Structure 1
Amino acid sequence: MGIFSKAFNPASDLPDLSDKVVLITGSNAGIGYATVKHLARHGAKVYMAARNQSRAEEAIAQLKEEGLGPGNGEVVWLELDLKDPRNAKKAAEEFMKKIMMVNVISHMVLTRSLQPLLDQTAAEPNSDVRIVVVASEGHRFVSGEPRYRNLDDFNAEFKNALSPSFTRYCMTKLANILYASELQRRLTAAGSPITVISVHPGAVNTFSDRQSLSRFFKFLIMPIVYLFFEHPDKGAYTSAFAAASEEVGKQRDKYKGTYLMPVGKVAEPTNMARDEALAKELWDFVEKFLLEKGQE
């Protein structure tokens, strides 16, 4: 079962992507993995950005077993460890050595490092450069007056919250939407045709196969998960729609800076997520932080 609309299906609704290049972070498992599969099956060359080479190679082998073979696109591992922003810059430099055009990329550090290449590609005739940021409806659970002024704000532990880890997760998803909207505003102001979209993938089962889960947890909770949560293949529908749907290319102004719900439906995030002053505060801190890390 599931609550996803059947209006969009990557298998039938995505165009031929044989001339497209895609870079996806966190793509050796879960929604990222499924997004790789949807796009590569339509001919795209996809760079699987992941930290662990063996896991990435296992994921690529699994893709081939599931039907990624001759006639489909190509999947290539790109080493990337996002614990340190300097690693993102290194990966971006390695990425630019390998290709001349980028279609989709989804990480703000990589976007910053790759901006010259994105701008160059966007200037080409009939180009359609998109930046897709995976956010979440979790941003709606953020309360109070969140700030992104400094590292202390980013590292807040929320010890008094009912679930500190979930609260931090929601804060990061709010940051995803704020950053995407601010990036779109700046690109549009500069006259760039690049489209930036943030997406909520829906309620997706990305944890049932984790080895860390106890047998008791799986026995007690997993029947509920399977009933109400979608498989990652469907969880990637909205990401695939944002990345490669012809509809987005035909109606760029409609989708620029938007927040999408499954499947590909424009939705309004919270007032907090639309706060331009908060988005600028986040942007300014990220720029300052990266500069301090040696990324000019």
Structure 2
Amino acid sequence: MGSFISKQSGFDPAKDISDLTGKVIVVTGGNSGIGFATLQYLARQGAKVYLGARSEQKAKAAIERLHKEGLGPRNGEVVWLNVDLSDPRDAKKAAEEFLTKEKRLDVLGIEDTMMVNHISPFVFTRTLLPLLTKTAKEPNSDVRIVNVSSDAITCMMPDLARYGLSKLANALFTKQLQKKLDADQVPIIVIALHPGSVNTEGLLRDPILVMPIIGPIARLLFSVIFLTPSQGATAPVFAAAAPAVRAQPELYKAAFLQPSAKIGRPTNPDAQSAELAKELWDTTEEILEKLEV
């Protein structure tokens, strides 16, 4: 699982995170792609990881694959959590179900259009925040919230504009949530990140790949240019578990990580706007109030 990205950053997600035994982590979208690879790294270091996914069949297949590929050296536990982010009411139910199962939550990783990428994760995080806060106040705790954004926040192509706006919302949500936690003196670190352009299972279902002549060329280019899911997990794993983050909390609070796990700036300057972050937060709460969530 070594990679060019890991060499660039100096961080190897397979080796450079501490023993996570006793830690409880939730990763949404963990049944494939970057989420799967992230979950795999964390479970191999001993964490109990909840795989948040809508499909039980796909979740069980992912868990079977994890066991087949091995969860050593520390053999953590992977548990399916029924998370449907297509509706904020279902997202809240999923979070409430989790609260009946666990007494702590050390890391919340959100990796999944505006409803799925912002509003439902907002509800999911808000519902779990009291438990995250409780865990953060325990001795020697290290609680983090990781939001997977993207450099697609600058994309205004018709097919990707909505996705880009939702990822901008992820970055703004990170900024405003960190501000609120700091104001309440809660020692939780919130990080947004761009995992890079990753050759995921979803990308491989692109219709262009089955076209004659163009398809084989596209598959070759994807394999050369794009990162593997394991490489794409470098920044998420760093954000979730690298000791350097807790060692320098003021540096990493509300930071935006690049694929190499180095701190960078979002390509859209709006992602740095404190005013826009607050406006988004307030607007989201107004929408949820109308939905009675």
Q: CA deviation at 1:68?
A: 2.3
Pairwise mapping of residues 46-195 of structure 1 onto structure 2 (< 5 A)?
A: 46-68=49-71, 71-105=74-108, 106=110, 107-141=121-155, 163-195=157-189
Secondary structure of the corresponding residue to residue 10 of structure 1:
coil
Of 223, 229, 232, the residue aligned with 1:232 is 229
Match of residue 117 from structure 2:
none
Q: Does structure 1 retain, via aligned residues, the 8 Å contact 2:178–2:189?
A: yes
Q: Aligned AA for 2:38? A: T
Q: CA deviation at 1:263?
A: 2.1
Q: Aligned AA for 1:116? A: P
Match of residue 9 from structure 1:
12
The whole-number CA distance in structure 1 between the counterparts of 2:287 and 2:232 is: 32
Match of residue 275 from structure 2:
277
Q: Does structure 1 retain, via aligned residues, the 8 Å contact 2:209–2:218?
A: no
Q: Does 1:251 align with 2:245?
A: no
Q: CA deviation at 1:211?
A: 7.9
Pairwise mapping of residues 260-271 of structure 1 onto structure 2 (< 5 A)?
A: 260-269=257-266, 270-271=268-269
Q: CA deviation at 1:218?
A: 3.5
Deviation by residue 1:87-137 (Cα, 9 ceiling, x = unmatched): 111111110111111111133221111111111111111111100000011
Pairwise mapping of residues 206-225 of structure 1 onto structure 2 (< 5 A)?
A: 206=200, 207-210=202-205, 214-216=209-211, 218-225=215-222
Deviation by residue 1:60-86 (Cα, 9 ceiling, x = unmatched): 001111112684100000001111101
Q: Does 1:31 align with 2:28?
A: no
CA 1:165–1:134: 2 relative to 1, 3 Å: same
Match of residue 114 from structure 2:
none
Q: CA deviation at 1:140?
A: 3.1
Q: CA deviation at 1:293?
A: 1.9
RMSD: 1.8
The whole-number CA distance in structure 1 between the counterparts of 2:143 and 2:245 is: 11
The whole-number CA distance in structure 2 between the counterparts of 1:240 and 1:91 is: 23
Q: Structure 1 length normalisation: TM-score?
A: 0.88
Percent of aligned pairs sharing the same letter: 47
Match of residue 150 from structure 1:
none
Tell me how many residue pairs correspond in the alignment.
275
Q: CA deviation at 1:138?
A: 1.2
Q: Aligned AA for 2:136? A: A
Secondary structure of the corresponding residue to residue 184 of structure 1:
helix
Q: Aligned AA for 1:235? A: G
Q: CA deviation at 1:2?
A: 7.3
Q: Does structure 1 retain, via aligned residues, the 8 Å contact 2:54–2:82?
A: yes
Bigger CA drift: 101-110 or 42-51? 101-110
Q: Aligned AA for 1:4? A: I
Secondary structure of the corresponding residue to residue 288 of structure 1:
helix
The whole-number CA distance in structure 1 between the counterparts of 2:83 and 2:287 is: 19
Bigger CA drift: 64-73 or 178-187? 64-73
Q: Does structure 2 retain, via aligned residues, the 8 Å contact 1:208–1:218?
A: no
The whole-number CA distance in structure 2 between the counterparts of 1:71 and 1:183 is: 32
The structure with the greater share of residues assigned to helix is 2
Structure 1 segments, 4+ long, off by >4 Å, are: 211-214
Secondary structure of the corresponding residue to residue 192 of structure 2:
strand
Q: Does structure 1 retain, via aligned residues, the 8 Å contact 2:55–2:82?
A: yes
Q: Does structure 1 retain, via aligned residues, the 8 Å contact 2:3–2:231?
A: no
Q: Does structure 1 retain, via aligned residues, the 8 Å contact 2:44–2:73?
A: no
Match of residue 196 from structure 2:
202
The whole-number CA distance in structure 2 between the counterparts of 1:62 and 1:175 is: 33
Match of residue 152 from structure 1:
none
CA 1:209–1:59: 2 relative to 1, 3 Å: farther
Q: Structure 2 length normalisation: TM-score?
A: 0.89
